[in-house]
Amino acid sequence: MSDYRDVKNPYGGGPSTGSTLPSYYRPTPSVKSRNNYFPMSEDLGPDEMRISFMGSSPYPPRLNQAGTCIMVELGNGDRFFFDFGPGCLRNIAAMQVPLQEVNDIFITHLHVDHYHDLSYLLPFRAWSGGWVPLRVHGPSGRTPELGVQGMVDGMKQMLKWHLEAFDMFPIGDGYEVEVNEFDWKDENGICYDKNGVTIRHWRRSHAKDGASAYRLDWNGLSFVWTGDGRPDELTTKYAEGVDVFVTECENDTGNLIQLKYGLPSWLYNYTIDTHHTPHYATGYMIKEVNPRLGMVTHFPYEHDLVNETLTGIRAHWDGHFVFGAPDGVVVNVTKDAIWARDAALPESTGQNAPNFVKMFNLSEIPEEFEVPQPRIPREAQQEQLTRDLEIDPNKYYPEDVERPPLTKLEDPTTINLKAMLAARNPKKAD
Q: Does the pLDDT at position 406 exceed 90? A: no
- Alpha carbons 242 and 293: distance in angstroms, whole number: 9
- Alpha carbons 40 and 37: distance in angstroms, whole number: 9
- The whole model's pTM is what? 0.92
Pick the CATH number of 23-343 from 3.90.1150.60, 3.60.15.10, 3.60.20.30, 3.10.180.10: 3.60.15.10
- Alpha carbons 44 and 94: distance in angstroms, whole number: 18
CATH 3.60.15.10 in the chain is located at: 23-343
Is the peptide bond prior to 346 cis by the omega test (within 30 degrees of 0)?
no
Specify the higher pLDDT residue, 387 or 52.
52
CB atoms within 10 A of CB 8: 9
pLDDT in tens, 280-336: 999 999 999 999 999 999 999 998 889 889 989 998 998 899 999 999 999 999 999
Q: Label residue 13 by pLDDT band (50, 70, 90).
A: low
Closest-CA residue to 59 (of 316, 335, 341, 276)? 276
On the 0-12 / 13-18 / 19+ scale of CB atoms within 10 A, 265 is: middle
Is the peptide bond prior to 412 cis by the omega test (within 30 degrees of 0)?
yes
